[in-house]
Structure 1
Amino acid sequence: MASNTRNSMRSAMRLGLAAAGLTLAGATMVGCSDPVVSYSAQVQPILDKRCMECHTPGERGYEESGLELGSYESLMQGTRYGPVVKPGEPLISVLNQLVEGRADPSISMPHQRNPLPASEIAVLRNWVEQGAKDN
C-alpha cells in the first residue's frame, strides 16, 4: 500500500509540474507578442519624416508613382500601379519590400538617401503584419 501511495503521489506531482509548465509556456507565448503598432502615433511620423518630401502632390515621388503618403487613406490607396500595403503580409507588401531593400536597388526607398533605421523598418513591418490598421 505504501508503494501505491508513493506512485500516486509521484503521478500527482508529475501532473502538477506538467500543468505548471504548460501555464508558464502559455504565459511566455502571450508575453512575447509584439505590442500593437499605432498608425497615427508610430507609422505616420515615420512617413512624415522619411517619405513626405517626395510623396506629396507636385513632388517627384508622387508624380512618378501617384503614391501620396499624407494620410492613411492615401497610403492604402497605393500607387497608380496598385496597392503598396497588403495587410497582414509584410513579405509581399511593396512598402516593406522597398524600405527593407528587398526590391531593385534603383527603386529602394527612401530613394537615393540613407536607408531607414532598423527600428523604423521594424515598426512598419509589425504594423503591416498586425493588419495595417488605422489606429
Structure 2
Amino acid sequence: MKIHRILALACGFAAFTTLKAVGDTPVDFVKQIKPILADRCVECHNSETLLGELNLQSRALAFEKRKAGPVIHPKNADKSMLYLVLTLPPKDKKAMPATGHRIPKDEIQLIRQWINEGAQWPEGKDGAISAQHKKPGK
C-alpha cells in the first residue's frame, strides 16, 4: 500500500512539473501569436474593414485608443477584450471570430499567457501582419 502512495505522488509531481514547465516558457509573438492573428483575426480587423474600431495589423494600431476602451491590457488577460471575446460561447453576438471555425483552446491559452506576460509585440517587419483577404468561393 505504501509503495502505491509513493508511486502516485511521484506520478502526480512529474505531471505537475511538466505542466508548469510548459507555462514557464515565454510566448514568442512572431512564432506563436502572429500566425493566430494573421489566420483568424486580421481578415476583419484591418485598415480596410476596421470592424469594432480594431486594427490588428501592428502593435501601434492594436493599441490605439478606441471608444470602447483598450482591447489588450498587458499583464491582465481577464480585462483584455482580445482574450475575453475568444472565450465567449459561440452563439454570443460578441464571440470571436464572428464567422468560421473557433480558435482552438490551446491557441486561446497561448493568447492568454502572452497577454499576462505583458503582450510583447515587436515593431517593424516582425510585428507587422498583412490582411490576406479570401477570394469569394474559397
TM over 0.5: yes
The alpha-carbon distance between structure 1 residues 89 and 102, as it changes in their structure 2 partners (threshold 3 A), is: farther
Q: Tell me which residue corresponds to 2:80.
A: 93
What one-letter code is carried by the residue in structure 1 that aligns with 2:32? Q
Structure 2 gaps, min length 5: 1-16, 123-138
1:27-38 matches, within 5 Å, as 31=21, 33-38=23-28
Given residue 109 of structure 1, which amino acid in structure 2 is its aligned partner? M
Of Structure 1 and Structure 2, the greater helix share is in: 1
Corresponding position of 1:119: 106
Structure (1 or 2) with the larger CA radius of gyration: 1
Structure 1 residues 68 and 34, CA gap change in structure 2 (3 angstroms): same
Aligned amino acid, residue 106 of structure 2: S
Higher relative contact order (CA 8 A, sep 6+): 2
Distance 1:115 1:66, change over 3 A: same
What is the alpha-carbon root mean square deviation over aligned residues? Answer: 2.6
Residue among 28, 33, 53 paired with 2:43 = 53
User: What code does the residue aligned with 1:55 have?
Assistant: H
Unaligned runs of 5+ in 1: 1-27
* Distance in 2 (alpha carbons) for counterparts of 1:104 and 1:86: 25
